[in-house]
Amino acid sequence: MELLGLSPALLALFVSFGFMVGVLFGFFGMGGSFLITPTLLILGYPAPVAIGSGLAFYFGTSVIAVLKHYDVGQVDYKLGAVLFVVLSIGIELGSRLVFGLEALGVAELVTGVAYVVLLAGIGLLFLRRAYRLEEVTDDDDDGVSDEEIPPIARKIQSYEVAPMLSLSSGGRASLWTILGSGGGVGLVSGLIGVGGGFIRMPAIYYLIGTPLTAAVGTSLFAGLFSGAFGTFTYGMSGGVDLTVVSLLLVGSALGARIGSAATAIVEEDDVIIYFGIMMLLASAGIGLSELGNWLGVGSLDALSVVLLVGSSFAVASIILYQVLASSGRAETTARPTSDGDDRR
């Protein structure tokens, strides 16, 4: 029996995986498309479909994120518009590269290897952050406020290579810096099907040089439109599986609500180490899948799905468990005493 062209098991997998990804990324504040594309690759979807569907999923989650934070903080609209154009060019080039690699028969391999490196890198960054959180005390605060521009960005801005673009924060950035950083992020997005928020926002903050609040808002603004463009580009060649994207979004929209509500209850510091480990396991899962393809051992694919999907289920479950445990504790302490007062 098939529903929407998928087996009930696959249908349930996509909705529940979308839900878990939504919980994770509602909690950690990321898009989550970088877990979707590799999962689709391991499940046997062709690289252009896995990448296109990952980008369409990213676009859907961006719409929800913008609706949720419709006052996206400070947005540098001029920079956002330039970035949108540059990101779109990068995505277009990346997608052409994917179809070229597909013609050569190496698209899955290149995308898989890129994901192994990317997820391992993110995992190590989160583990480093978890390690630092243990060491850092309030006295160690580096004193950088959200409104300041980081020293490396000030250094880059000091090289005035014409044409220069005035930023809403008062500074000026070379158009070449914007072209380089935006084009690079767009190329990565188009090549491996990630929204790229986790590299776009740091690129705006550290390379172009805007205050952190403006970097977040501008990244969201540019990301929404570049996500739409990526969906359009892959949609032109039939590289988006709308059924898969819809099922993932159904789960993820609910999960993201629960995940973002959980931030008020669960400390990010308590689960960040699990998130880092999850990324490393996901990276290992994709590596195993590539190894299985190379050696012709199909059973490694099953193990890689378990590692990739299982690790994200495990971390999302830890967050949900902590929410339930905290709610239980809060209820116990808030239970009224004999004289009617709360003990809270």
C-alpha closest to that of 28 among 139, 123, 115: 123
Q: Which is nearer to another protein, 97 or 250 (CB)?
A: 250
Question: How many helices (H) and strands (E) would you count in the chain?
Answer: 12, 2
**Which range of residues in 144-152, 239-247, 270-278, 280-288 is near another protein by CB under 8 A?**
239-247
237 binds another protein (CB under 8 A): yes
Which residue do the tokens 């504790």 mark?
329
Pick from 64, 133, 164, 273: which binds another protein (CB under 8 A)? Answer: 64
206 binds another protein (CB under 8 A): no
Pick from 2, 140, 331, 342: which binds another protein (CB under 8 A)? Answer: 331
Q: Which is nearer to another protein, 204 or 240 (CB)?
A: 240
**Considering the complex, what minimum distance in angstroms separates the CB of residue 20 from another protein?**
16
Site map for another protein, 9-48, x if CB under 8 A? ----------------------------------------
User: Residue 113: which residues within 8 A CB-CB, separation 6 or more?
Assistant: 290
Q: Is the dihedral of CA 320, 323, 325, 328 positive or negative?
A: negative
User: Residue 205: which residues within 8 A CB-CB, separation 6 or more?
Assistant: 150, 153, 212, 215
DSSP string for residues in 102-146? HHHT-HHHHHHHHHHHHHHHHHHHHHHHHHHHHH--GGG-----T
Pick from 30, 35, 41, 56: which binds another protein (CB under 8 A)? Answer: 56
Q: Which is nearer to another protein, 151 or 238 (CB)?
A: 238
Pick from 88, 189, 218, 233: which binds another protein (CB under 8 A)? Answer: 233
231 binds another protein (CB under 8 A): yes
> Binding residues for another protein, how many (CB under 8 A)?
28
Q: Scanning residues 241 to 300, which ones bind another protein (CB under 8 A)?
A: 241-242, 245-246, 249-250, 253-254, 257
Half-sphere CA count of 113, side-chain side, radius 13 A: 5
**How far apart are alpha carbons 152 and 97 in whole angstroms?**
32
Pick from 63, 109, 314, 318: which binds another protein (CB under 8 A)? Answer: 63
C-alpha closest to that of 150 among 220, 74, 197, 203: 203
Pick from 125, 161, 236, 324: which binds another protein (CB under 8 A)? Answer: 236
Question: Do 145 and 45 meet the contact criterion of CB atoms below 8 Å apart?
Answer: no
Which residue do the tokens 């529903």 mark?
3
Under the rule (CB under 8 A), what is the footprint of another protein? 56, 59-61, 63-64, 67-68, 228, 231-233, 235-238, 240-242, 245-246, 249-250, 253-254, 257, 331, 335
